[in-house]
Amino acid sequence: MSRTELRPFTAADLAACGTLLADRHRRHRAAQPLLSARFEDAAVALAELTAAYETPDASGAVAYRAGVPVGFVLGAPKPSPLWGPNIWVEAAGLAVTDPEVTRDLYAVAAARWVDEGRTAHYVVVPTYDAELVRAWFRLGFGQQHAHAIQPAARPGTGTPAGLPVRRATRADIPALAQLELELPLHHGRSPTFSAGRVGTLEEALAEWTADFDNPGYATFVAESDGRVVGSAIGCALEKSSGHLSLARPDHAGFLGFAAVFPHARGTGAGRALGTAVIDWAVTAGFDSVVTDWRVTNLLASRAWPALGFSETFLRLHRLIGY
């Protein structure tokens, strides 16, 4: 095997690495055909890679063998303090012909990232390549989040007895505001321990009052004994800031939020709400439905796969220095 040459990623590497990215996506779509076919075009993939390269403070590494590129890693920081002093390798930020070279690429790129004080590292990895995922695990990363997809087709699962689901009305705003706090509260507890901010009930009430009639969102509530016990929201995937570039299928609906009050968990309310959003997406004419979850959220990580969602990308995380 030819010697692997490793060096920092530059603009001169974009064209060849755009082809690598298109090839990776082609293999990914063989396993997940609901992903967008657009990114199999090398020119389209190059545009996504160029956008990633032009993100402020982006940097990375590229590997060549016998003058031919065999992989790259490219990351950039996000300004939100939620993620710590961070670097993100998004869906368009990596492609390799040999999963093992990933470890060498990260070694080169991460040296600069840590020198810059960026010690919280995130990478969005396609799930189709088990050896690629394993390479990141062998770099000290662990799975934090999952992205998933399913066809826009009615699940065929009935609503549990006594748990009707309906579209929300303005009269439900007090319950919707309380439920908006339930998800971050749940994520703050064991075993997720998220550091995400929990807003106030007053803030949530004000936002719901102002935005309730937004036609871009479909809000559903589940009831038990005539009282709201949970809610879910559907919208077009384009409204999500977490599903970008190659991780954004065309014409997809999004199960963007779901929460159930603690006393009603385990009753099937989450499944009923998820089914309602999928049914809405079918009626709205979307081709697929996408969602995501923290894998340490035991409820979501069991409920959504049970509804038929199949993982497409994994967000992996490593915190340097511990």
Could you read off the pLDDT of 94-144 as tens digits, one per residue? Answer: 999 999 999 999 999 999 999 999 999 999 999 999 999 999 999 999 999
With respect to residue 197, please indicate whether it lies within any of the assigned structural domains: yes
Please say if the pLDDT value at position 155 is more than 60. yes
Greater pLDDT, 272 or 163: 272
With respect to residue 318, please indicate whether it lies within any of the assigned structural domains: no
- DSSP designation for 7: E
Q: Are residues 160 and 117 in the same domain?
A: no
Q: Is residue 268 helix, strand or coil?
A: coil
Q: Are residues 170 and 273 in the same domain?
A: yes
What's residue 147's pLDDT?
Answer: 98
- Number of domains composing the chain: 2
Domain boundary among 140, 174, 199: 140
What's residue 81's pLDDT?
Answer: 83
What's residue 187's pLDDT?
Answer: 92
Q: Could you tell me if 308 and 277 are in contact, meaning their C-beta atoms sit under 8 angstroms apart?
A: no
Q: Are residues 134 and 155 in the same domain?
A: no
Q: Are residues 163 and 293 in the same domain?
A: yes
Task: Give mean pLDDT, residues 5-18.
Answer: 98
With respect to residue 317, please indicate whether it lies within any of the assigned structural domains: no
Domain boundary among 118, 140, 162: 140
For 208-226, write each residue's pLDDT tens digit.
999 999 999 999 999 999 9
| Domain with 299 in it | 151-312
Computed on alpha carbons and rounded to an integer, the radius of gyration of the chain in Å comes to: 21
Q: Are residues 119 and 162 in the same domain?
A: no
For 176-203, write each residue's pLDDT tens digit.
999 999 999 999 999 999 888 889 999 9
Percent of the chain with pLDDT over 70: 97
For 225-262, write each residue's pLDDT tens digit.
999 999 999 999 999 998 999 999 999 999 999 999 99
Contacts of 266 (CB under 8 A, 6+ apart): none
Closest CA to 272 of 189, 124, 158: 158
Q: Could you tell me if 65 and 3 are in contact, meaning their C-beta atoms sit under 8 angstroms apart?
A: yes
Q: Rounded distance, CA 96 to CA 111, Å? A: 19
Q: Are residues 157 and 120 in the same domain?
A: no
Greater pLDDT, 158 or 249: 249
Please say if the pLDDT value at position 158 is more than 80. no
Pull the structure tokens for residue 102: 């990933």
Q: Rounded distance, CA 33 to CA 265, Å? A: 34
- DSSP designation for 262: G
With respect to residue 229, please indicate whether it lies within any of the assigned structural domains: yes
- DSSP designation for 235: E
Residue 256: CA count within 13 A, CB half-sphere: 22
Report how far apart, in Å, the C-alpha atoms of 284 and of each of 9, 213, 235 are.
43, 17, 10
Q: Which residue has the tokens 């004419």?
A: 285
Q: Are residues 248 and 101 in the same domain?
A: no
Pull the structure tokens for residue 236: 């077009």
Pull the structure tokens for residue 252: 């997809």
165-167 vs 217-224, strand pairing mode: antiparallel
What's residue 74's pLDDT?
Answer: 98
Q: Are residues 134 and 158 in the same domain?
A: no
Q: Which residue has the tokens 């385990």?
A: 266
Q: Are residues 125 and 187 in the same domain?
A: no
Task: Give mean pLDDT, residues 276-282.
Answer: 97
Asked whether the whole model's pTM tops 0.85, one would answer yes
Q: Are residues 127 and 157 in the same domain?
A: no
CATH number at residue 59: 3.40.630.30
Q: Are residues 208 and 82 in the same domain?
A: no
Q: Rounded distance, CA 71 to CA 21, Å? A: 9
